[in-house]
Amino acid sequence: MRIMIIAGEASGEMHGAGVVAALKARHPEIDIFGVGGDRMERAGCALVYHIDRFSVMGLTEVVRHLPFIRRALKRLDGLLESRRPDLVILIDYPDFNLRLARKARKRGIPVLYYISPQVWAWRPRRIHAIVRNVDCMAVVFPFEVDLYEKAGGKVVFVGHPLLEVLESRQSRTEFCDAAGLDPDRPIIGMLPGSRVMEVERMLPAMAGTLKNVRQELPETQGVIGLAPTVSRTDLTACLAGNAALEEDARKVPVVEGSTYEVMRHADLLLVTSGTATLESACFGTPLLVLYRMSRLSWWIARRLVSIPDIGLVNVVAGRRIAPEFLQDAVDPETLSPVVLELLKDPGKRQSMASELREVRSRLGTPGASLRVADLALDMTGGADKHQMNDRESGPSGESEPRREGAVDDGS
């Protein structure tokens, strides 16, 4: 059997690696190729493109990147024809993947889409294009099932893949010893984001809030959870020009590679909106959801987004559990009173923690990758469609789809 799998972003690539590993565990002889990263490659996917080629931010960079995107679509479409995979698995990354889904549909190749575009938040009309071109949606939020069923699509809730990777290995004492914190004093965890631009916008307000809180509760400690995509140099640059905050921030421990430990052991979290809000909820730690973007992006977002809350934790809950602060509200003077109220009232924190545990229960049970793999095998009729000699030489005569960069193809 032969499967093409496409994950164009780091978060999707992590979940794609789980699916590839699960498929290989079921049937080691499966031929899997497509777009991914190092984890997918280690799991057994032959890369046509590495996700590094697809990582772009900002309107100018996106426009400059369009010729490559067109070439990539053309090349992958050619592989749909020459290698004739039994199934295409698409993971998130909707603007690119929906175009590829249409090409697969025209060639009569079934499509399994894992992790739905956020049609429930913005551009809801996309759901009709998805239903037309996708044979089955494997969704990670339970409320998405009803959306696709109403639109006439086939949909399966597989649970959220985060439950496979959420792990905390340290006790509070061990974490605090490693970070230079006192386990008997309150801890504010700061998660400023996974992109440098986010950290630039969010960290000063978080650091300023900690400074204000310490004036009233001097025993309060802070810790910064640094995403692997952000360096300490980036962190320092984000506070440059604000001498007071820069001096205060130097006294705050920075934890690298242990974000989940910060989520678990902090008494309260300040979290940049994104997947981290859902991860924090899974640990049951009270949090505030923060986000700030450029004024132009905010103007556009207000006209496109159709839901009242932006934090995934609140979206899954169906109500606002974690307070949200957007744009100008991401300010120490606005945040500090709310933080102080929660730190002073253990009952309020416990109440929020209880509601957050309910959110985790809505995400299903661990095993999403294996469920997606089994769904893929069901859609292809098992692993008996291609014999070994057929897999080793596709119709084009290529033994493997060559990864771009191995030869100069003009891209």
pLDDT beyond 90 at 109: yes
* pLDDT score at 21: 98
What pLDDT band is residue 56 in, cutting at 50, 70 and 90?
low
* pLDDT score at 236: 82
Question: How confident is the model over 219-237, as a mean pLDDT?
Answer: 89
pLDDT beyond 60 at 211: yes
Question: How confident is the model over 233-261, as a mean pLDDT?
Answer: 80
Which is more confident, 400 or 193? 193
d(CA 156, CA 154): 7
Within 84-189, residue ranges assigned H as helices are 94-106, 126-133, 143-150, 162-165, 172-179
Question: How confident is the model over 46-64, as a mean pLDDT?
Answer: 72
Highest-confidence segment of 91-100, 264-273, 374-383: 264-273
Stated pTM of the model: 0.80
pLDDT beyond 80 at 367: yes
Closest to 341 (Cα-Cα) out of 317, 318, 321, 323: 323
Question: How confident is the model over 19-45, as a mean pLDDT?
Answer: 96
Mean pLDDT lowest among 19-28, 172-181, 294-303? 294-303
Give, in order, the Cα–Cα distances in Å from 68 to each of 13, 42, 60, 146: 20, 25, 14, 36
Q: Report the Cα–Cα distance between both ends of the chain, in Å, rounded.
A: 30
User: How many other C-beta atoms are found inside a 10 Å radius of the C-beta of residue 22?
Assistant: 21
Question: Do the beta carbons of residue 36 and residue 5 sit within 8 Å?
Answer: yes
d(CA 342, CA 360): 21
d(CA 234, CA 193): 12
Q: Which residue has 């556009």 as its token pair?
A: 300
What pLDDT band is residue 118 in, cutting at 50, 70 and 90?
confident
Give me the sheet containing 2-7, strands edge to edge: 46-50, 31-36, 2-7, 87-91, 111-114, 136-139, 155-157
* pLDDT score at 287: 98
What pLDDT band is residue 408 in, cutting at 50, 70 and 90?
very low
User: How many other C-beta atoms are found inside a 10 Å radius of the C-beta of residue 389?
Assistant: 7
Mean pLDDT lowest among 59-63, 268-272, 279-283, 391-395? 391-395
Question: How confident is the model over 88-117, as a mean pLDDT?
Answer: 95
In percent, how much of the chain has pLDDT > 70?
88
* pLDDT score at 244: 61
d(CA 340, CA 343): 5
d(CA 125, CA 102): 16
Give, in order, the Cα–Cα distances in Å from 103 to each of 127, 133, 155, 398, 399: 17, 9, 21, 21, 23
Burial bucket for residue 125 (CB in 10 Å: 0-12, 13-18, 19+): exposed
* pLDDT score at 396: 39
Amino acid at 322: A
Structural domains for the chain: 2-161+367-392 (3.40.50.2000), 172-361 (3.40.50.2000)
Tens of pLDDT along 272-323? Answer: 998 899 999 999 999 999 999 887 877 777 777 767 888 899 999 999 999 9
Burial bucket for residue 346 (CB in 10 Å: 0-12, 13-18, 19+): exposed
Number of alpha carbons in the 13 Å side-chain half-sphere of residue 250:
7
Closest to 95 (Cα-Cα) out of 123, 76, 58: 123
Question: How confident is the model over 383-410, as a mean pLDDT?
Answer: 42
What pLDDT band is residue 62 in, cutting at 50, 70 and 90?
low
pLDDT beyond 90 at 346: yes
User: How many other C-beta atoms are found inside a 10 Å radius of the C-beta of residue 182?
Assistant: 11
Contacts of 236-241 with C-beta under 8 Å, sequence gap 24+, read 237/200, 238/192, 238/196, 238/199, 238/200, 238/203, 238/204, 239/203, 239/204, 239/207
User: Using N-to-C axis directions, what is the helix angle for 143-150 and 126-133, rounded to 10°?
Assistant: 80
Question: Would you say the C-alpha torsion 249, 250, 256, 260 has a positive or negative sign?
Answer: negative
* pLDDT score at 308: 80
User: Using N-to-C axis directions, what is the helix angle for 243-250 and 196-216, rounded to 10°?
Assistant: 80
Phi and psi dihedrals of 188, rounded to 5?
-100, 120
Question: Do the beta carbons of residue 48 and residue 35 sit within 8 Å?
Answer: yes
Phi and psi dihedrals of 197, rounded to 5?
-60, -40
d(CA 23, CA 18): 9
* pLDDT score at 404: 57
What pLDDT band is residue 405 in, cutting at 50, 70 and 90?
very low
pLDDT beyond 60 at 227: yes
What pLDDT band is residue 411 in, cutting at 50, 70 and 90?
very low
